[in-house]
Chains A and B, each alone.
Chain A
Amino acid sequence: MELDLPAWSEPFVGERRAELGHLGPFGALDRDVAFGGSDGSGVRVAIIDSGVERDHPAVGGRLVASYRVEPTDEDPIVVEDPDAIDVVGHGTACAGIIHSLAPAAELISVRVLGPDNRGKGSNFAAGLIWAIEHGVTVANLSLSSRSEAFFGLFHELTDEAYFGNVLLVSAANNVPGPSYPSLFSSVVSVAAHDVADPWTWYYNPRPPVEFGAHGLDVDVAWRDGGRIVATGNSFAAPHIAGVAALIRAKHPTATPFEVKAMLAATAGR
Chain B
Amino acid sequence: MVADRQRRLEKDAVSLLEAIALRAEAGRRVHGESARAVLRSIVEATVALFDAEAASIALYDAASDRLVFEVAAGEQGQGVIGLSIAPDQGIAGYVFRTGQALALSDVEHDSRFGRAVAEQTAYLPRSIVAVPLVSDERTIGVLEVLDKRGATTFSLRDIELAAIFAQQAATAISATRVERDVASLLASGLRALAAPDDPERATVEEIVLAATAGLGRDDDSRLWVLAEAVAGVRMADPAQLELVTEILDALARHAGRETRRRRRSRPGRGDPSEPG
| Contact among A89, A113, A234 with B97 in the assembled complex (CB-CB below 8 Å) | A113
| Contact among B88, B139, B153 with A231 in the assembled complex (CB-CB below 8 Å) | B153
A120 at the interface (CB under 8 A from B): yes
Q: Are A3 and B93 in contact (CB under 8 A)?
A: no
Q: Which of A13, A88, A176, A178 has the most CB of B within 10 A?
A: A88
| Contact among B100, B107, B110, B155 with A142 in the assembled complex (CB-CB below 8 Å) | B100
Q: Are A234 and B102 in contact (CB under 8 A)?
A: yes
**Which residues of the partner chain A approach B104 to less than 8 Å between Cβ atoms?**
228-231
Stretch in A54-62, A77-85, A145-153 with 4+ CB within 8 Å of B: A145-153
Q: A146-B137, A174-B100 are in contact. Are A88 and B90 (CB under 8 A)?
A: yes
Chain A residue at minimum C-beta to C-beta distance from B154:
A231
Chain B residue at minimum C-beta to C-beta distance from A148:
B137
Chain B residue at minimum C-beta to C-beta distance from A13:
B156
Contact with A along B128-142 (1 / 0, CB 8 A): 010110100111000
Chain A residue at minimum C-beta to C-beta distance from B107:
A228
A222 at the interface (CB under 8 A from B): yes
A25 at the interface (CB under 8 A from B): no
| Contact among A88, A217, A232 with B89 in the assembled complex (CB-CB below 8 Å) | A88
- Contacting A at CB under 8 A, from B78-97, are 88-91, 93-94, 97
- Contacting A at CB under 8 A, from B83-128, are 88-91, 93-94, 97-107, 109-113
Q: Are A229 and B106 in contact (CB under 8 A)?
A: yes
Q: Are B138 and A228 in contact (CB under 8 A)?
A: no
Q: Are B164 and A5 in contact (CB under 8 A)?
A: yes
Q: Are B134 and A87 in contact (CB under 8 A)?
A: no
User: When chains A and B are docked, how far (Å) is the Cα of A215 from the Cα of B101?
Assistant: 12
**Which residues of the partner chain A approach B129 to less than 8 Å between Cβ atoms?**
231
Q: A89-B110, A217-B153, A223-B110 are in contact. Are A173 and B100 (CB under 8 A)?
A: yes
Contact with B along A162-178 (1 / 0, CB 8 A): 00000000010111111
A189 at the interface (CB under 8 A from B): no
A159 at the interface (CB under 8 A from B): no
A65 at the interface (CB under 8 A from B): no
| Contact among B103, B138, B166 with A175 in the assembled complex (CB-CB below 8 Å) | B166
**Which residues of the partner chain B approach A173 to less than 8 Å between Cβ atoms?**
99-101
Q: Are A175 and B102 in contact (CB under 8 A)?
A: no
| Contact among A13, A88, A233 with B94 in the assembled complex (CB-CB below 8 Å) | A88
Q: Which of A115, A230, A235 has the most CB of B within 10 A?
A: A230
A17 at the interface (CB under 8 A from B): no
**Which residues of the partner chain B approach A145 to less than 8 Å between Cβ atoms?**
99
B35 at the interface (CB under 8 A from A): no
**Which residues of the partner chain B approach A90 to less than 8 Å between Cβ atoms?**
94, 102
Contact with A along B146-179 (1 / 0, CB 8 A): 0000000111100110011011000000000000
- Contacting B at CB under 8 A, from A186-215, are 192, 194, 215
Q: Chain A's nearest CB lies how many Å from the CB of B102?
A: 4
- Contacting B at CB under 8 A, from A73-130, are 87-90, 113-116, 120
Q: What are 26 A-B pairs with beta-carbon distances under 8 A?
A: A7-B160, A88-B91, A88-B94, A113-B88, A113-B94, A116-B97, A120-B139, A142-B100, A143-B100, A148-B137, A173-B100, A175-B163, A176-B163, A194-B155, A217-B105, A222-B110, A224-B111, A228-B105, A228-B106, A228-B113, A229-B153, A230-B102, A230-B105, A231-B102, A231-B104, A231-B156
- 9 further contact pairs, Cβ within 8 A, besides A89-B110, A174-B102: A3-B164, A146-B139, A174-B156, A194-B155, A222-B113, A229-B104, A230-B103, A232-B100, A232-B102
Q: Chain B residues in contact with chain A, CB under 8 A?
A: 88-91, 93-94, 97-107, 109-113, 129, 131-132, 134, 137-139, 153-156, 159-160, 163-164, 166-167
A-B pairs with the 9 shortest C-beta distances?
Answer: A232-B102, A143-B98, A174-B101, A231-B103, A175-B163, A229-B105, A224-B111, A229-B106, A88-B94
